[in-house]
Amino acid sequence: SQTIHQWPATLVQPVGSPLSLECTVEGTSNPNLYWYRQAAGRGLQLLFYSVGIGQISSEVPQNLSASRPQDRQFILSSKKLLLSDSGFYLCAWRSLGAKNIQYFGAGTRLSVL
Amino acid sequence: SQQGEEDPQALSIQEGENATMNCSYKTSINNLQWYRQNSGRGLVHLILIRSNEREKHSGRLRVTLDTSKKSSSLLITASRAADTASYFCATDGGGGFKTIFGAGTRLFVKA
């Protein structure tokens, strides 16, 4: 069966420090991969999605970047974190086919201080 | 504005009561989905209803879809304290790679 791993679960970083969040998927090939950010008590904001290795689509211009170095690995990065980067980050995958059901990781709570 | 807007934003009920949440969307869809999110966790897919379906059941969940009104509802019958969570509707926007999520309804079920 398919599983998605996202880590770390919580992260506290100082302003100006770099960021790297990693997400890996097991049990499926060539998934569509997604990074979302969720503010407290709000909906999901799509940040990036990828339909293949090295293919990244950015939804919102901001202080973050994403990379997909391997088929089932999706990385969210920043060179210098801002206070506004704080939030709950979720990785998700979706299989190819008619249904567009997304499967989510457990999330990373990022606090930038 | 965002595709998929839930109503109400928050709902508080007693255990055993039914909970109804509504969702409206703006563009054509192939299907509509409902997800659940426990506090501080990822979203979990609950149910998908296709655009040519009007009603679908899964256990204590009942979803309706009215494409003429571009709206859907999620009914949770005989609610339990464990149903306390946020519920999101999501659409495919008619196709493509993106799933568009609403802002969610926060449900609190009191024991």
For B25-76, write each residue's pLDDT tens digit.
988 888 999 999 999 999 999 999 999 999 999 999 999 999 999 999 999 9
| Mean pLDDT (whole number) for A11-35 | 95
Comparison of pLDDT for A100 and B59, the residue scoring more: B59
Phi and psi based region of residue A11 (left: phi greater than 0; alpha: psi -120 to 50; beta: remaining): beta
| Cβ-contact B27, B5 below 8 angstroms | no
Chain B residues with at least one Cβ partner in A under 8 Å = 2, 30-31, 33, 40-45, 48, 88, 90, 92, 97-104, 106
Structure tokens at B102: 């609403």
Question: Does B2 have pLDDT greater than 50?
Answer: no
Please give, rounded to a whole number of angstroms, the shortest distance from the CA of B4 to a CA of chain A: 10
Record: contact B40-A101, CB cut-off 8 A: no
Give residue B3's pLDDT: 52
pLDDT above 80: residue B93: no
Contact A100 B92 (CB under 8 A): yes
Tokens of A74: 């999706």
Q: Is the pLDDT of residue B4 over 70?
A: no
**Residue contact B101–A44, C-beta within 8 A:** yes
